[in-house]
Copies of this chain bind each other. A is one copy, B any other.
Amino acid sequence: MVTIKDISKKCGVSPATVSKALNGYDDISEETIRLVRQTASELNYTPNAAARLLKTSTSHNIGVLFVDDTMSGLTHEYFSYILNSVKEEAEKNGYDITFISQTLGKRKMSFLQHCLYRNCDGVVIASVNFASRAVHELITSDVPVITIDYAYDNVSSVISDNVEGAYELANYLLDKGHRRIAFIHGELTSVTNKRLVGFNRAMKERGLSVDPDYLIEARYHDADSVRKATARLMDLPVPPTAIMFPDDISYLGGQAELQQRGLRIPDDISVCGYDGINLAGLIQPPLTTWHQDADRIGKESVRKLIETIEHRSTCAAEQIMVSGQLVSGSSVREWDEKM
């Protein structure tokens, strides 16, 4: 490995000078700067991040906490888009990213310890069990943190507007004339609660009451559980004319159930998903869904996190709400209310 010392020897200057020349200090003459930079690239010099970190105590490395016990996260399309965007924005700003976990070899370590061990300047947290002790410990530590889709006190967060999403979807269905609208929602997390708020608000604004039979809990991303929920809905004496599903993937479970019952989409029943992943536009019929702006969510997270890292004292916690967008496929039809 070629070090700063090698350059200093070759140039006949001290290591200090080399360091300064490389880092653009202004007390080095133009000439030596040229010489040093020249030989650095000749020798194919690469700085050593670890040594630099040791001295400056900033690693230019941000941790990402994206996976919990259930192991979805990386393989969840919505989150993998966020991750991709986080990665790009981080790199654009000179930061690398490292996954944070709870086990390193045989050593068990907490998330916080892992961050300290790797000297992460900050951490992006998403898709984890926010109620867990380990996550809580990290969030309340001194390490700058940003959470995605979950709001904590005194911590910045970037949140996809779930109230808006469910509200707009419900309104879309209502506008099409549907009145018997069912909502299969995910587990009662904070995200789900927001969506319920949006859903209820839309109904209330039209003076409609929500039939409790039409509100069913299933599991996000779990086609099976959603399939069962769909079956329960369609077995009701008065089944819904439209169903809002927890997400685009689990909708496929519902779709299977509906098709098996000989119901055509959207002729016999209207449906919509949530997330707006690529897939939604590819399946038949294209799914009307709510597109969460994963790209923007990732970017904003990193932007705000870096702001927090670099101006720690002056940077106030902030909640950043990211709007989504309704993507209309052809899974919803006009409905003549004739009940």
Contact of B119 with A94 in the complex, beta carbons under 8 Å: no
- CA–CA, A91 and B87, complex, Å: 20
| Copies of this protein in the complex | 2
Set B81, B113, B255: member contacting A75, Cβ < 8 A: B81
- Number of A interface residues, CB 8 Å? 55
- What's the minimum C-beta distance from A91 to chain B, rounded to whole angstroms? 5
Closest to A286 in B: B256
Q: Indicate whether A126 reaches chain B with its CB closer than 8 angstroms.
A: no
**Per-residue contact bits, chain A 245-289, to B (CB 8 Å; 1 contact, 0 not):** 000010011011001000000000000000000010011100000
Set B84, B105, B118, B284: member contacting A49, Cβ < 8 A: B118
Set B73, B91, B96, B282: member contacting A256, Cβ < 8 A: B282
Set B48, B74, B99: member contacting A96, Cβ < 8 A: B99
If A87-B74, A106-B94 touch, whether A116 touches B80 (CB-CB below 8 Å) is no
**Per-residue contact bits, chain A 28-51, to B (CB 8 Å; 1 contact, 0 not):** 000000000000000000111111
Closest to A221 in B: B278
Contact of A93 with B113 in the complex, beta carbons under 8 Å: no
Q: Indicate whether A331 reaches chain B with its CB closer than 8 angstroms.
A: no
Q: Indicate whether A6 reaches chain B with its CB closer than 8 angstroms.
A: no
Q: Indicate whether A98 reaches chain B with its CB closer than 8 angstroms.
A: yes
Contact of B103 with A91 in the complex, beta carbons under 8 Å: yes
Sort A-B residue pairs by CB-CB distance and give the 4 closest, nearest first: A94-B105, A252-B282, A50-B50, A46-B116
